[in-house]
Amino acid sequence: MSSLPVRQDLSGLSDRFSAVRALSLALAEPLSDADATVQSMPDASPAKWHLAHTTWFFETFVLRDHVPGYRLHDERWPFLFNSYYEAEGRRHARHRRGMVTRPTLDEVRAYRGHVDAALSDALPTLPAAVQALVELGCHHEQQHQELLVTDILHLFSENPLEPALWPAAPRRPVAVPSAPGWIERPGGLVQIGHDGGDFAFDCEGPRHQALLHPHAIADRTVTNAEWAAFIADGGYDDARLWLSDGWAWVKREGIAAPMYWERQGDGWTRFGLDGRQPVDASAPVTHVSFFEADAYAAWAGARLPTEAEWEAAAAGHDPVGGNQMDTAGPVAPQAGTGPRWFGDVWEWTGSAFRPYPGFRAAEGAVGEYNGKFMNGQFVLRGGSCATPRGHGRASYRNFFYPHQRWQFTGVRLAKDL
């Protein structure tokens, strides 16, 4: 669920809805029906499912519930495209989404067109509270755009041909950064969390005080070159660096490098949406788990920042800056100069994803949005190269389980003073 003020600019909401919906279609445009149907692992969903689920969201929570006389496009499809909303009844099992060969990709596109037309017609007559649901639906779809990109990446990585979704972007020569700088910050009370001034997801609030101890936080994220040094120094073979569950995961899964890395000759390559390419030593490392991030921090004589430390340091920086997703095209972390707090890679923190003081889930099905997942996951901050530009802010809390790494996840270090 969201927390947002009443929107007065109806034309702005209409334009935003149209732009978000168009980008999803553009991201999936290069896919065949087979590409869009296959599910590569239980954590990922088929591209076709993402396109349909985001449409189901608008059809269910806006058109069905608030537009008199609206009839569902197909009464069988809510069972297929509900994700986890218990209040909406039975649904197709998540790990079997790849079995939904019908409807076809073209039929899902037609479904999107039907819902888009109906919602656009109804939008001028919707009450402010329902327009807020449309705003929430846009942000929800942007979350799925990021998942769509990373799920396609994982799917293509399972194909022995390692196809590229888009051609590689021209590489800008950037020198490998020197050692990171450290931003020293005093202890004391700070305010974190969303202040209610514009859109936010429910888990970002309420705004509240957090106590910080004196610490320093790195002015950039860890690079591929630094991670290669960790590998060369036996980082994946030294149990002393790892949490117990992380060490068990490394041994069980045979983990020896970031996801999608492969040694070729004397160097490393990585697989991306632009196919297999040499690892860019100067770019931020990505596709690492919380377990790996924590082990690297131990190796480097540091630790992961808390989410309060991260937010306090990032507050005031431009949340739409950095390398984020603008259009359907090459998506990859990029080397850069100077401090960047947003874009490139999501940054693991050492904080568990739990509710803030005073958090309350909203009533109804939409209240199932975030609160039910506040168990066993860790918070990430900052957005990535696959995060649609404008879909982020200092208070944004992403969250994943500690072993997961198919998202664009990276590392920023902190240390006590």
CA–CA separation, 16 and 55 (whole Å): 15
What pLDDT does residue 35 have? 98
Tokens of 300: 């480097």
Mean pLDDT by 10 residues, the chain (417 residues): 50 95 98 98 98 98 97 97 93 97 98 98 96 96 98 98 93 81 96 91 95 97 97 98 98 98 95 96 97 98 98 94 93 80 97 95 75 92 96 96 98 98
**Same domain? 233 vs 306:** yes
CATH assignment at residue 290: 3.90.1580.10
What pLDDT does residue 170 have? 82
**Same domain? 299 vs 252:** yes
Query: Quick check: pTM over 0.85?
Result: yes
Helices vs. strands in the chain: H and E counts, helices first: 11, 14
Distance of CA 382 to CAs 104, 132, 300, 336, Å?
Answer: 36, 24, 22, 15
Strands, E assignment, 219-366: 261-264, 267-272, 275-278, 346-352
Range of the domain at 231: 182-416
CA–CA separation, 151 and 162 (whole Å): 14
* Amino acid letter, 277: Q
Q: How buried is 92 (Cβ within 10 angstroms: 0-12 exposed, 13-18 middle, 19+ buried)?
A: middle
**Same domain? 311 vs 232:** yes
Instruction: Please enumerate in sequence order all residues whose Cβ is within 8 A of that of 290, keeping only pairs 6 or more positions apart, or say none.
Output: 246, 348, 378, 400, 401, 402, 403, 404
**Same domain? 188 vs 290:** yes
CATH assignment at residue 97: 1.20.120
**Same domain? 144 vs 228:** no
CA–CA separation, 351 and 399 (whole Å): 10
In a domain, 163, yes or no: no
* Amino acid letter, 162: E
CA–CA separation, 35 and 50 (whole Å): 13
**Same domain? 125 vs 212:** no
What pLDDT does residue 5 have? 42
In a domain, 83, yes or no: yes
Q: How buried is 212 (Cβ within 10 angstroms: 0-12 exposed, 13-18 middle, 19+ buried)?
A: middle
**Same domain? 257 vs 193:** yes
User: Do 402 and 209 meet the contact criterion of CB atoms below 8 Å apart?
Assistant: no
What pLDDT does residue 4 have? 41
**Same domain? 339 vs 204:** yes
What pLDDT does residue 7 have? 45
Name the one residue in this structure whose structure tokens are 């040499």: 278
Tokens of 59: 């059809």
In a domain, 171, yes or no: no
Counting the structural domains of the chain, the total is: 2
**Same domain? 294 vs 248:** yes
**Same domain? 136 vs 198:** no
Strands 409-410 and 346-352, by their bridges, are parallel
**Same domain? 15 vs 143:** yes
What pLDDT does residue 3 have? 44
In a domain, 170, yes or no: no
